[in-house]
Amino acid sequence: MKISLKKKLRKIMWVLLSAIVIIIAAVMIFINQKSFGKAPSGERLERIKKSPNYRDGTFQNQNPTPNFSSDKGFTGVLYDFFFKKVKDLRPSKDIPTIKTNLNGLGTEDALVWMGHSSLYMQVAGKKFLVDPVLVSASPLSAFNKAFNGAAAYQPRDLPDADILILTHDHWDHLDYETMISLKDRVGQVICPLGVGEHLEYWGFDKKKIVELDWDEQTSVDGFTITALPARHFSGRGLTRNKSLWASFMIQSPTGGNIYLGGDSGYDSHYTAIKQRFGAIDLAILENGQYNDAWKYIHLVPEDLVKAVKELNPKRLFTVHNSKYALAMHAWSEPLENISKAAEKDSIHLMTPMIGEVVHLKDTLQTFKKWWQ
């Protein structure tokens, strides 16, 4: 009996060990897909090591930034994400959209939001794309799909662009399939330090890629584009912060400043940016996918208002909402909150639908509260 029991235990142990080995192998195969990108190496890594924002083997925020501000920790937050019920987490009806032909906008200064943080802009005769994520915002395309109606735009709908700006390498800001579609259709790519490694690995021409550290700038066709701090993190796989994250200021040759806030929690950089650049004609800030548990790396509603007041832009447009459910709040809550704050504090807020053309020189253009 004892020998038989030992044999059974030994068999169970071998089965468990085999299962563990198979799971580990499957995970390794999965995370080594090309879509996960590549960590910086060679000359790029040597440049990164010289950055004042790179310490102890990773990029760092300006101030200490905990991953989670609550006592739940990662497992608690993960449990809430998968099992906590949130009323209206996803819309019950299709998101209203307008399918604008982006190739037919002529030469006017215009902005078209394609949902989440994906933007197409025409400014001073140049075509910009910002964080275009049009296929998948996660490593599993079937996981966390776009809201019904919110995926009107696909890579084939994008015009060839003069300038592509990427704020960081998270899946919901850097989409492999969209990048593959664009790699031969953009003139210049501007991104934070380290992100260029992904792009080269995916076939982008190295000569097209300009990687910037915070407070570095580049000139493209008369535009001055400056990479600025943000309070966030990076990573597409199991390691974090091997590439930088950033916000950007776009200074047009015809005058005017457009600030792209990227993903960021609240910090002192908003005041510093205002002091440095003065008048900001348009601020594009994240608003959505927030949670008190990660308030240091995303703008919760009260901090968004605080950041807007410190930047004091002539006009405000908020993104990072209305396409994916990445946080535990009702899908329309971000727009409802900022709309009420704008009315209270006289903020010139623009709330276009996905695909609706924003005429950047028309300061009297009005928008519906389409989320209500």
233 pLDDT above the threshold of 90: yes
**Ranges of H-type helices in 280-345:** 301-311, 333-345
| Per-residue confidence (pLDDT) for residue 28, from 0 to 100 | 64
Burial class from Cβ neighbours inside 10 Å (0-12, 13-18, 19+) for residue 164 reads buried
Indicate whether 200 pLDDT > 70: yes
CB distance 197 to 237 below 8 Å: no
pLDDT, tens only, 315-371: 999 999 999 999 999 999 999 999 999 999 999 999 999 999 999 999 999 999 999
Q: Provide mean pLDDT across the span 118-127.
A: 98
Residue count (the chain) = 372
| pLDDT recorded at residue 95 | 97
Output the CA–CA distances (angstroms, integers) from residue 328 to 116, 309, 353, in the order listed. 16, 26, 22
| Per-residue pLDDT tens over the stretch 249-258 | 999 999 899 9
Q: Rounded to two decimals, what is the model's pTM?
A: 0.92
Average pLDDT score over residue span 201-212: 98
Q: Counting Cβ atoms within 10 Å, is residue 87 exposed (0-12), middle (13-18) or buried (19+)?
A: exposed
- Supply the DSSP string of 89-107, one letter for each residue: SS-SSPPPB----GGG-TT
Q: Tell me which of 70 and 316 has the higher pLDDT.
A: 316
Indicate the average pLDDT of the chain.
93
The 10s digit of each residue's pLDDT in 48-63 is 999 999 999 999 999 9
pLDDT tens figures, 14-42: 777 766 766 666 666 666 789 999 999 99
What's the CA gap between 274 and 310, in Å, rounded? Answer: 7
